């Protein structure tokens, strides 16, 4: 959500002529994130988020925006894309595709308690089930094939120990993804990036109400267990060490499974998928750190965070195998 493509007041005014959203009250860039250019937009009709897509193409965008509309129609609290007067959900702005979505209520909870994890787990399961009748297909673009494609471009920046870890995990995940058990895991549309800062809560800590999930632009059809693992790897850990917090893990998994119980294969491969979730974000953060793009407001995430998480998951899996 850094600003790669600036928008002047005049450019914004010209573009908003295609919408029925009233007059502009406030417009400002959002500083966090590293993929798209995002802006808070307040008009006389309400509060919105304007996104200029820096990597996603016009051919790819219908999946993400139509998925958000589908989930919103199924009462999953997500941003709802606003249509042009011609019903299109996006259009060109400064030479790139752009869209406006509704702004959700609340703010991120960066120090979650088990109560927050319960609400996230339940809603994530509802999201998965709501997506079962979504008719479009877009694979998770940051899955195994992307790791294999991009690791060679960052390998020279790594220490010997890091190289050993990333190469051994690529081999492990390649075998896992190629297994019959992996093929049997239930799948469907997934958020694929449900970190603490992509969820909003309202009404305070004691009576926290889930405001919704947002930033669906890494979404794709993947194994539902991967989506759960990515979420647990962020919501249920000690941020300093990457070690899982059993109370929060238990709260999230129990809540999720009250809506959609795990299959036996999902139970067997939970630790493998936790490793896959950590690997995905370690590779992408290494890439963003060592192969950065220019932006007006850009702060690359620390790749060491997910290296610690991956090492913790590998260590835990090894200890479990020895028992």
Least confident of 53-57, 115-119, 181-185, 233-237: 53-57
Total count of residues recorded for the chain: 323
Residue 273: pLDDT above 90? Answer: yes
Tell me if 173 sits within 8 A of 276, measured CB to CB. yes
Tell me if 220 sits within 8 A of 141, measured CB to CB. yes
Structurally, what CATH architecture does the domain formed by 114-322 represent? Alpha-Beta Complex (3.90)
Tell me the two tokens of residue 291: 């192969």
Tell me if 72 sits within 8 A of 125, measured CB to CB. no
Give the integer Cα–Cα distance in Å for 210 and 107: 10
Structurally, what CATH architecture does the domain formed by 9-102 represent? 2-Layer Sandwich (3.30)
- Per DSSP, the three-state class of 97 is strand
Residue 297: pLDDT above 50? Answer: no
Q: Say what the pTM is.
A: 0.92
Q: What is the pLDDT of residue 115?
A: 94
Domains 9-102 and 114-322 share a fold: no
Neighbours of 305 (CB within 10 A): 18
Q: What is the mean pLDDT of residues 81-92?
A: 93
Tell me the two tokens of residue 178: 């190629």
Q: What is the pLDDT of residue 1?
A: 44
Q: Chain-wide mean pLDDT for the chain?
A: 93
Tell me the per-residue pLDDT of 58-83, one tens digit each, with 9 for 90 and over. Answer: 998 999 999 999 999 999 999 999 99
Give the integer Cα–Cα distance in Å for 145 and 36: 22
Give the integer Cα–Cα distance in Å for 35 and 54: 7
Sorting pLDDT into bands at 50, 70 and 90, what band is 296?
very low
Domain ranges of the chain: 9-102, 114-322
């Amino acid at each position: 959500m850094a600003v790669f493509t600036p928008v002047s007041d005049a450019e914004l005014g010209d573009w908003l002529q295609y919408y029925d959203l009233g007059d502009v009250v406030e417009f400002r860039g959002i500083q966090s994130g590293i993929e798209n250019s995002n802006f808070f937009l307040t008009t006389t009709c309400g509060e919105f988020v304007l996104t200029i897509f820096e990597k996603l193409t016009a051919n790819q965008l219908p999946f993400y925006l139509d998925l958000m509309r589908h989930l919103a129609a199924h009462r999953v609290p997500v941003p709802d894309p606003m249509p042009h007067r011609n019903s299109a959900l996006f259009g060109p702005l400064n030479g790139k595709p752009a869209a406006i979505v509704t702004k959700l209520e609340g703010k991120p909870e960066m120090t979650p308690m088990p109560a927050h994890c319960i609400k996230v787990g339940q809603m994530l399961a509802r999201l998965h089930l709501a997506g079962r009748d979504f008719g479009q297909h877009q694979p998770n673009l940051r899955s195994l094939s992307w790791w294999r494609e991009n690791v060679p471009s960052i390998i020279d920046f790594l220490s010997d120990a890091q190289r050993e870890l990333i190469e051994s995990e690529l081999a492990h995940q390649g075998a896992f993804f190629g297994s019959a058990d992996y093929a049997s895991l239930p799948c469907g549309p997934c958020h694929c990036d449900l970190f603490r800062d992509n969820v909003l809560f309202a009404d305070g800590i004691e009576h926290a109400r889930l405001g919704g999930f947002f930033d669906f632009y890494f979404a794709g059809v993947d194994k539902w267990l991967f989506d759960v693992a990515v979420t647990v790897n962020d919501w249920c850990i000690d941020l300093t060490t990457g070690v899982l917090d059993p109370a929060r893990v238990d709260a999230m998994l129990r809540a999720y499974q009250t809506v959609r119980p795990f299959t036996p294969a999902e139970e067997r491969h939970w630790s493998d998928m936790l490793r896959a979730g950590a690997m995905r974000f370690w590779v992408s953060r290494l890439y963003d750190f060592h192969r950065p793009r220019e932006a007006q407001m850009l702060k690359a995430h620390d790749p060491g965070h997910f290296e610690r998480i991956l090492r913790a998951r590998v260590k835990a899996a090894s200890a479990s195998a020895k028992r």
